């Protein structure tokens, strides 16, 4: 009897020991998972008047943007609207590719169409993936081209750690960003397009007879919050970019990798409460340089062509002077994308220089699919022709080159833009384009003619003080 009881007790002790071991193991697993999630989280708060970083945590760590991606899609849409290429009433036709995007979506069938404004509102509120794809295809010809435009624009805005692969933010291991870059984009959207920024404050909109409510729970809850965008995938966690303006101070804050919609919102609310009072009430002008727009072909050229192929003055004149340096995660509406996603990884991305005479950072290089996209884009390019009128009327002597482009219309547009930026400097100058061929491709230099070397160099130095890159050249 005693032996039997002893055996039972021994087995019970062994079982208890095993249970304790398993419980301890589970504790380590849970702790490891929590640590992994904490490592994935990132946040930043920037004073949108002074540019000062008020708070930073893993701000430059590579993260998946999820639907924060749509901020860049909207940036390019606003740019196209501002340039007159599209209007809020332009039709956005849904291709089979756009119509097939998974939820969250508006649900437009293949061949159906909505207005640009409806597409914008559906992206801001519902975070509609199908609308984002359709709008990207409208602006870029196809989604792959548009993704390259997005990346090129990111570099032009100073977003050094971001690569885009699609217009909506659904999982793609090659698409990534940083909290700092998303803050830069958030600031740029308000600074560059104040006429459209109010879209981000929309809490709902009517689509037919249906009212579609937004995901941004801080609108109307936290005083001063006027946008911008939420995002979620399993790989990214819960993301949010918020712009806050109390009438005196303004900040942009980013939270990436929240454990739930509620905890993300609470973290953002705490950041706003803590750091908005610390922001400056004085501003120093625009913080993000406004990058000029471009066609899909120009954007692709920025990505693929090496810098040595960039059109530049043939040579500097002898004796030139040196340049002057001048809250409930169970709410279904917060779960924007529900497709299976890959585990978070660190994509390996090569870099290449960008083609442009203005200063632009390097951008991610091409994969095999990207090269194929570039070949498709080449087929869209306009025939390389030389305008006999412009060519015949090129002023002789000295000129200041401000930019160049594979399309004459874009070179002319850059001349017009520069003239508007520096009217006093270029009041007496003659703007013109010069065509030349390099490696079988025709480019167009955008130049201003001057009567003497001294006048050209004086003008170029004045332009550089306005942050406009240029060269003086004898032609």
Encode pLDDT of 164-175 as tens digits. Answer: 999 999 999 999
* CATH code 3.40.50.12140 for 384-475: no
| Residue 270 binned pLDDT confidence (cut-offs 50, 70, 90) | very high
Distances in Å between the Cα of 384 and the Cα atoms of 169, 292, 401 are 36, 22, 21
Q: What is the pTM of this model?
A: 0.59
CATH 3.30.70.1070 in the chain is located at 384-475
CATH 3.40.710.10 in the chain is located at 39-278
Is the per-residue pLDDT at 291 higher than 80? no
pLDDT at 475: 73
Is the per-residue pLDDT at 4 higher than 80? no
CA–CA gap between residue 360 and residue 341 (Å, rounded):
32
For the ranges 204-208, 286-290, 331-335, the lowest mean pLDDT is seen at 331-335
228: number of Cβ within 10 Å: 28
Is the per-residue pLDDT at 81 higher than 70? yes
Orientation of helix 129-140 relative to helix 143-156, angle to 10°: 80
pLDDT (average), residues 56-73: 96
Closest residue by Cα to residue 100 from 133, 60, 122, 127: 133
Q: Beta partners for 385? A: none
| Residue 330 binned pLDDT confidence (cut-offs 50, 70, 90) | very low
Peptide bond into 301 cis (omega under 30): no
100-146 pLDDT, tens digit each: 999 999 999 999 999 999 999 999 999 999 999 999 999 999 999 99
More confident residue, 406 or 10: 406
pLDDT at 233: 92
Q: What is the mean pLDDT of the chain?
A: 76
Is the per-residue pLDDT at 383 higher than 70? no
Q: Which three-class secondary structure state does DSSP give residue 177?
A: strand
The encoded tokens of residue 98 equal 């756009």
201-224 pLDDT, tens digit each: 998 999 988 999 888 889 888 999
pLDDT at 17: 56
Distances in Å between the Cα of 304 and the Cα atoms of 166, 307, 308, 354, 373 are 18, 9, 12, 7, 11
Is the per-residue pLDDT at 260 higher than 70? yes
More confident residue, 306 or 48: 48
| Residue 433 binned pLDDT confidence (cut-offs 50, 70, 90) | confident
| Residue 473 binned pLDDT confidence (cut-offs 50, 70, 90) | confident
Q: Which residues are catalytic?
A: 67, 70, 127
pLDDT (average), residues 21-39: 45
Distances in Å between the Cα of 241 and the Cα atoms of 165, 227, 268 are 20, 8, 9
| Residue 381 binned pLDDT confidence (cut-offs 50, 70, 90) | very low
pLDDT at 303: 47
The encoded tokens of residue 431 equal 């703007």
The encoded tokens of residue 310 equal 């960039």
Q: 39-278: which CATH topology?
A: Beta-lactamase (3.40.710)
| Residue 411 binned pLDDT confidence (cut-offs 50, 70, 90) | confident
pLDDT at 10: 58
Is the per-residue pLDDT at 320 higher than 60? no
């Amino acid at each position: 009897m005693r032996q039997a009881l002893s055996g039972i007790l021994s087995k019970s002790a062994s079982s208890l020991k095993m249970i304790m071991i398993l419980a301890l193991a589970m504790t380590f697993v849970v702790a490891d998972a929590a640590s992994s999630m904490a490592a994935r989280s990132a946040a930043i708060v920037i004073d949108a008047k002074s540019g000062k970083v008020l708070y930073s945590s893993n701000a430059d760590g590579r993260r998946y943007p999820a639907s924060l991606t749509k901020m860049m899609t909207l940036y390019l849409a606003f740019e196209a609207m501002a340039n007159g290429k599209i209007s809020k009433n332009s039709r956005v036709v849904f291709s089979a590719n756009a119509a097939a995007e998974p939820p969250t979506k508006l649900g437009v069938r293949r061949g159906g169409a909505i207005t640009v404004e409806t597409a914008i509102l559906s992206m801001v509120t519902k975070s509609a993936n199908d609308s984002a794809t359709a709008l990207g295809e409208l602006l870029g010809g196809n989604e792959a081209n548009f993704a390259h435009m997005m990346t090129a624009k990111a570099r032009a805005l100073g977003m050094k750690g971001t690569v885009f692969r699609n217009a909506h933010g659904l999982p793609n291991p090659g698409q990534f960003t940083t909290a700092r870059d998303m803050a830069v984009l958030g600031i740029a959207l308000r600074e560059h397009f104040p006429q459209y920024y109010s879209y981000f404050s929309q809490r709902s909109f009517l689509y037919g007879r249906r009212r579609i409510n937004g995901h941004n729970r801080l609108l109307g809850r936290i005083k001063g919050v006027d946008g911008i965008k939420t995002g979620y995938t399993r790989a990214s966690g819960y993301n949010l970019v918020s712009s806050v303006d109390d009438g005196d101070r303004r900040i942009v804050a980013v939270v990436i990798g929240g454990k739930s919609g509620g905890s993300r919102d609470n973290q953002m609310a705490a950041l706003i409460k803590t750091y908005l009072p610390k922001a400056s009430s004085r501003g120093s002008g625009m913080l993000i340089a406004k990058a000029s727009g471009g066609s899909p072909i120009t954007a692709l050229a920025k990505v693929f062509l090496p810098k040595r192929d960039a059109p530049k003055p043939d040579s500097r004149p002898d004796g030139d002077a040196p340049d002057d340096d001048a809250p409930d995660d169970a709410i279904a509406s917060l779960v924007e994308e529900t497709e299976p996603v890959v585990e978070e990884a660190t994509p390996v991305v090569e870099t290449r220089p960008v083609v442009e005479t203005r200063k632009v950072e390097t951008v991610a290089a091409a994969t095999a699919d990207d090269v194929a996209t570039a070949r498709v884009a080449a087929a869209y390019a306009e025939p390389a022709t030389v305008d006999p009128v412009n060519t015949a009327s090129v002023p002789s002597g000295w000129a200041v080159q401000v930019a160049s482009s594979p399309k004459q219309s874009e070179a002319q547009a850059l001349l017009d833009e520069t003239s508007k930026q520096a009217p006093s400097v270029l009041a007496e100058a003659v703007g013109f384009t010069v065509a030349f061929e390099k490696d079988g491709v025709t480019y167009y230099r955008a130049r201003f003619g001057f009567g003497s070397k001294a006048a050209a160099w004086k003008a170029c130095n004045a332009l550089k003080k306005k942050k406009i890159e240029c060269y003086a050249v004898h032609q």
